Amino acid sequence: MPAVLYIVVPCYNEQEVLPITAPMFLQKIRDLAAAGKISDESRVLFVNDGSKDKTWEIISGLAREDEHYLGISQSRNRGHQNAVLAGLMEAKDRCDITISIDCDGQDDINAMDKMVDEYLNGCEVVYGVRESRDTDTFFKRFTAQSFYKFLSAMGAEVVYNHADYRLVSSRVLQEFANFKEVNLFLRGMIPLVGFKSTCVGYSRAERIAGKSHYPLKKMLALAVDGITSLSVKPLHMITGFGVLVAFASFIGVLWAIVTALLGRAVAGWASTTCIVCFVSGVQLICLGIIGEYVGKIYMETKQRPRYIISERTWNEEK
């Protein structure tokens, strides 16, 4: 019996692009099923992330049209990571493999063939890795690449140029369900589950329609989330930096004493002000970084649900 595949697609305000990409996902399932690689029980599972436009109406309409389309709706907008998680958790008991993909057509759907092949070869996780970013603007390419470099410099291990386009088997998802953290950074968490994995390259296309929901501000927030949920390296760096500043201050104090003893003490207003400004700036930054972690702990202790599904396109008893 071939594997049942669920394609998990997060959608937020995607009314322009959904009618174009949904049939593409369906066709991919048909093609893979026709090739005997997956079962015809495979489905496209849309996760409406509290869209304010007609996205949910479109999803419900698709589900009525063809049984291969399924949809769940989150009770409100919670962000891409939570939407993907909701879809994966919903899918994990109904299928053998999941592939998460954005709904804007930027990720090459044809890479799914290779992903499924790798699964059939025994891999439980297959990361989609962007090989070229020719279609991205220079700015997007530059910020996105700096993002990966910055993450790994900060001790958060991620697969280079991999976003959230990946195949994950339900076996891995069952284990992943035990990762209870509220701060989600899926691309850094899935590697922690382990199991045999590999990468499949694809080239990234332009968004078919609509506009990106990941402006620089959200990318920065995602980077901070990624670092603080995967690594405590910034805290170590603060300690290291503190030692350095303390050492420099010690030398400064020695210098001050020596000049005073030699009777050459000058007003020294400028240097004093500089040092005070510098050290207080450093302290504020360090406090801020520690605060980020305290904030994370605060959110984790609340143990709020990571997603709330308000509607499904199917009857739950079924």
Q: Site for ligand UDP (CB under 6 A): which residue of 37, 43, 68, 79?
A: 79
Q: How far is the CB of 126 from ligand UDP (least distance, A)?
A: 19
Q: What's the CA gap between 82 and 308, in Å, rounded?
A: 10
Which 103-122 residues touch ligand UDP, going by CB under 6 A?
103-104, 106
Q: Site for ligand UDP (CB under 6 A): which residue of 11, 38, 200, 223?
A: 11
Q: How far is the CB of 51 from ligand UDP (least distance, A)?
A: 8
Does residue 141 belong to the site contacting ligand UDP (CB under 6 A)? Answer: no
Contacts (Cβ under 8 Å, ≥6 apart) of 270: none
Compare residues 135 and 249 and give the one whose CB is closer to Mg ion: 135
Q: What's the CA gap between 306 and 182, in Å, rounded?
A: 6
Does residue 80 belong to the site contacting ligand UDP (CB under 6 A)? Answer: yes
Binding site for Mg ion (CB under 5 A): 102, 104, 106
Q: Site for ligand UDP (CB under 6 A): which residue of 30, 54, 213, 312?
A: 213
Q: How far is the CB of 208 from Mg ion (least distance, A)?
A: 9
Compare residues 21 and 197 and give the one whose CB is closer to ligand UDP: 21
Taking contact as CB under 6 A, which single stretch among the options 74-82, 115-123, 195-203, 250-258 is the one that binds ligand UDP? 74-82
Taking contact as CB under 6 A, which single stretch among the options 4-12, 32-40, 121-129, 221-229 is the one that binds ligand UDP? 4-12
Compare residues 14 and 118 and give the one whose CB is closer to ligand UDP: 14
Q: How is residue 87 written in tokens?
A: 């879809």
Compare residues 12 and 307 and give the one whose CB is closer to Mg ion: 12
Compare residues 77 and 145 and give the one whose CB is closer to ligand UDP: 77
Compare residues 140 and 196 and give the one whose CB is closer to ligand UDP: 140
Query: Residues in the site for ligand UDP, rule: CB under 6 A?
Result: 10-12, 14, 49, 77, 79-80, 83, 102-104, 106, 212-214
